Amino acid sequence: MKITRIYVERLKSYGDYSNRTVGLEAILDENEGVKEAYLKLAQECETLLELKEIRAKKEELERELEALEKKKKLFEEACNECRKLRKELEYELERLHSTLQEIESVAEEKLKFQDKIMERLKAIKDTLRSILPNWSDSDWWES
C-alpha cells in the first residue's frame, strides 16, 4: 500500500503590507489522485484565506462600530446638555422679560404720579397768584 503525504500552502498579501498564510496537509492512499487532492486542498486554502479576510474585516468593522457608538453616546450627551441649557436659558429670558415688564410698569406709574404732582403744583401756584397778586415762583421756592 502506497501512502502519499501532500502539503499545500497559500499566502495572500494585502495593500497594508500584511500577509495571511494558510497551509493544509493531506495523507492520501493509493486510490486517491494526487492532482485532485492537491486542487481540493488549494481550493480549501483559498476558502480559508477568504474566511480569514472576512473575519478580519468583521473585526475591523466591529471596532469602528464600537468607536461610532462611543461617539454617538458623546453626541447624545452633548445634545441633552444643549437641551438642558436651552431650557435654562429660556427660563432666564422669560424671567428677564417679566422683570423688564415690571420695571416698565413701575416707571409708567412713577411718570403718571409725577405728572399728577406737577398738575397739583401748577394748580397751587395758580391759586396763590390769584390770592397774592405780587407773588412770584422764586419767592415760593426760597421760603
Q: Yes or no: say if 47 and 15 are a contact pair by the CB < 8 Å rule.
A: no
Please give the Cα distance from 31 to 61 (Å, whole number): 46
pLDDT of residue 23: 82
Residues 133-143 have pLDDT tens digits of 776 665 555 55
The DSSP result for 56-75, as a single string, is: HHHHHHHHHHHHHHHHHHHH
Distance CA 61, CA 55 (A): 10
Q: How many residues are listed for the chain in this entry?
A: 143
Q: What is the pLDDT along the chain (143 residues), one digit of tens a residue?
A: 566 777 788 777 766 667 777 788 888 777 778 888 888 888 998 888 888 889 989 999 999 999 999 999 999 999 999 999 999 999 999 999 999 999 999 999 999 888 889 999 888 888 877 887 776 665 555 55
Vertex 62 angle, CA 55 and 57, to 5°? 30
Q: Is the dihedral of CA 88, 89, 90, 96 positive or negative?
A: positive
Q: What is the pLDDT of residues 105-124, one digit of tens each?
A: 999 999 988 888 999 988 88
| Reported pTM | 0.52
DSSP one-letter string for the chain: ---EEEEEEEEEE-TTS-EEEEEEEEEE-TTS-HHHHHHHHHHHHHHHHHHHHHHHHHHHHHHHHHHHHHHHHHHHHHHHHHHHHHHHHHHHHHHHHHHHHHHHHHHHHHHHHHHHHHHHHHHHHHHHHHH-TT--HHHHHH-
